[in-house]
Chains A and B, each alone.
Chain A
Amino acid sequence: MAHRAILVDVTKCIGCGACTEACQKSNEQSPHEARGFDEQTFTFLMDRGNDVYVRRLCMHCEQPSCASACPVSALHKSPEGPVVYDASKCLGCRYCLLACPFGVPTYEWHSAMPRVRKCQMCSHRGEAGPACAEACPTGATITGERETLLAEARSRVANDPKTYFQRVYGVTEAGGTDVFFIGPKDSDALGLPNVKSQVALPDLTWQALKHVPDVVLYGGVFLGGMFWLTKRKEDVARAENAEKGEHHG
């Protein structure tokens, strides 16, 4: 798989919960009811009424805020798509939790050796792909190569304007993600996070960080220069005083 993505078609979801069950099994968690993201829950279903069920899971951003925020690259975007986490590198600063615009990563607050927890698109399953897509009985969650999947999402939306709201969620959000949603209503009505930023959020911090070399270079010259100039003034004053002393003497 070149670059894996996930497509969630809300119109096909019957709310059976097979995806949450498969997710817990794949991540070796004890079976439990999934109500929201927590250290044991990487995906859950929202009942939006009128038989509309919407899944939440990590969006696997193209340029993930969490990975950009992490000081030690404990989180990183793998070339195959999933945003994965390496606990052995992590300091536990939790900047990733704060940085994620979708509110996905969670933390093991009651552990003495806490980890950041989130969906990693079952990267440990390799080519088998995410367990949720495999388990879904209706094809509401499917996985595949990103461009193919995006083309599929766009054609479904375009070919059936009566069923689908005319937009693919995940194409522009936070600069683009690897998880797409299509459904009967807009993303607000579906209860998906309203992420207004169309630029990747790491670009915002980079606007400041890119000036670091300049601060060092120009700051060094300016400060060194000020040191030399004001010191010189002192030297000159001292020399003049000495000269005066000689004349008088």
Chain B
Amino acid sequence: MVKERLSSLRLGFWSISAGILFLALAGIAYIRYTQGLGAVTHLSDTFPWGLWIGFDLLCGVGLAAGGFAVTATVHILHLKDFKPIVRPTVLTAFLGYLLVITALLLDLGRPWNIWHPIIMWNPHSVMFEVGWCVMLYTTVLSLEFAPMVIERFRERFKLDWMLKILKTVTPVLVILGVILSTLHQSSLGSLFLILPEKMHPLWYTPMLPVLFFVSALAAGIAMTVVESWFSKRAFGKPIETHLLSRLSRASVVVLALYFVLRLRDLASRDALSTIFPLNRVSAMFLIEVGLGVLVPMVLLAFERFRQSPRRLAAVQGLVVLGFIFHRLNVSVTSVEAATGRSYIPSIPEFFVSAGLVAVGMTIFVLACRYLPVFPEGPVAETEKKVQPAIAEVPASLRAPKTAGAFDPS
């Protein structure tokens, strides 16, 4: 009984926190759209990009990179073992991009013109390329996500023909997805190539596009592992430890590649010495590369750290943290260090970033509950599962197991 009450209390705590965040989000949006960005942010002419670009856009897109990496593993390299994690990863990526677009609608000064790049071209602008790629890739992700919705309603509306078409075009979608992702993941780094005068040498390098792509790959895999662990915690579903362990071996290789690229680049530009004198800037660099790259790379190389899902999630959490540090260091720390201006996000800026993460997690949980995201069909949260309340999930919501059920491979 006590345990039951505790768990309902915990649910209450999370629901209330989420509720407060959503309300704050609505209030901030209202002020932002009526009084301008200056009313809610600490942005300025010398710091025109802040937390919403550094975290919501740069990190949001990068952390969604698992989507293209895992779909490519299964559908292009035909490593079918990884099939069980394709759908949750695609869902994570799709939600990630939708949240990025939501953040942009808040951050852009004239969001009603967001569609302008479709007809007003400037192929010399990195932002133009990023805009097109994000637009196209979100479309690709929506088509990769669509079968989860269609399957849910296939019997009621006789939608098998739709599933057949989507299954046929899947390889094309996945290839498009990988190309588009390669382009815009790296281009988010290229955005900063035009700032040689305004960035610290620890972060400004012509290699930025390559570093952004490789680190996004590492972050995408890391998020896939963290998200699997989160699903296990939330739904008490069995976790594919052997798959996560194999993915994490790939992480070691990607992190090693990134580490070598990063150090080689710093050495070739004689920039390594700029970590002295040791100060806040060099501390940010050391946390990013040491704690976020080197430590997880070494730990994941040991079998011991790849056998327990909890350890895997903790170490991959470090990779996610290091990734977030890199993006914020590029967009904020390095600009601060080079221009001598400082930027500390306002409380509303923090609220919006946290609020969007909460929105994403809420939609993820709802999608897992009502759609066939996991191989075993829609799932209920752990709290319900320990009680007989599992029966509350109507049989019609479970995965279709009838003959001729759609095989998403």
Contact = CB atoms under 8 A, between A and B. Distances in A.
Interface of A: 37-38, 65, 68-74, 89-95, 97-99, 101, 103, 105-114, 195-197, 201-202, 204-209, 212, 215-216, 219-220, 223-224, 226-227, 230-231, 233-234
Contacts of A89: 113, 116, 120
B154 interface: no
B255 to A, nearest CB: 23
A188 B72 CA distance: 53
B22 interface: no
B179 A223 contact: yes
Nearest to B77: A230
B110 interface: yes
A42 to B, nearest CB: 13
A215 B109 contact: no
Contacts of B78: 227, 230-231, 233-234
A224 B111 CA distance: 37
Interface stretch (B87-95, B193-201, B223-231, B272-280): B193-201
Contacts of B108: 91-93
Interface residues of B, number: 58
B238 interface: no
B318 to A, nearest CB: 29
User: Which 6 A-B pairs give the minimum distances between C-beta atoms?
Assistant: A92-B109, A109-B38, A94-B48, A71-B127, A97-B48, A71-B128
A105 B45 CA distance: 8
B126 A72 contact: no
Contact of A106 (B45, B49, B77, B121): B45
B76 interface: yes
Contacts of A220: 175, 179
B36 A112 contact: yes
Interface stretch (B181-189, B240-248, B366-374, B387-395): B181-189
A57 B376 CA distance: 65
A72 B110 CA distance: 13
Contacts of B129: 209, 212
Interface of B: 33-39, 43-46, 48-49, 72, 75-78, 108-111, 113-114, 116-117, 120-131, 171, 175, 178-179, 182-183, 186-187, 189-191, 193-198, 206, 208-209
Contact of A223 (B46, B178, B187): B178
A205 B189 CA distance: 10
Contact of A114 (B34, B36, B124): B36
15 contacts: A69-B125, A72-B128, A73-B121, A89-B116, A91-B108, A91-B111, A92-B108, A95-B127, A107-B109, A108-B109, A109-B37, A109-B44, A112-B33, A208-B187, A209-B129
Contact of A207 (B49, B121, B206): B206
Contacts of B75: 227
B127 A93 contact: yes
B197 A196 contact: yes
B110 A113 contact: yes
Given A107-B48, A109-B44, A234-B78, A208 B193 contact: yes
Contacts of A94: 43, 48-49, 109
A112 B227 CA distance: 38
Nearest to B75: A227
Central interface residue in A70, A98, A113, A227, by most chain B CB within 10 Å: A98
A207 B193 contact: yes
Given A65-B194, A92-B113, A73 B45 contact: no
Contact of B117 (A71, A197, A206, A212): A71
Contact of A204 (B46, B183, B194): B194
Contact of A98 (B49, B111, B120, B196): B49
Contacts of B191: 95, 205
Nearest to B335: A98
Contacts of B130: 71
A91 B122 contact: no
A227 B197 contact: no
A202 B127 contact: no
Central interface residue in B109, B122, B186, B190, by most chain A CB within 10 Å: B109
A131 B217 CA distance: 53
Given A109-B43, A112-B34, A68 B194 contact: yes
Contacts of B122: 68, 70-73
B197 A98 contact: no
Contacts of A97: 45, 48
Contacts of B49: 94, 98
Contacts of A108: 36, 109
B36 A38 contact: no
Nearest to A234: B78
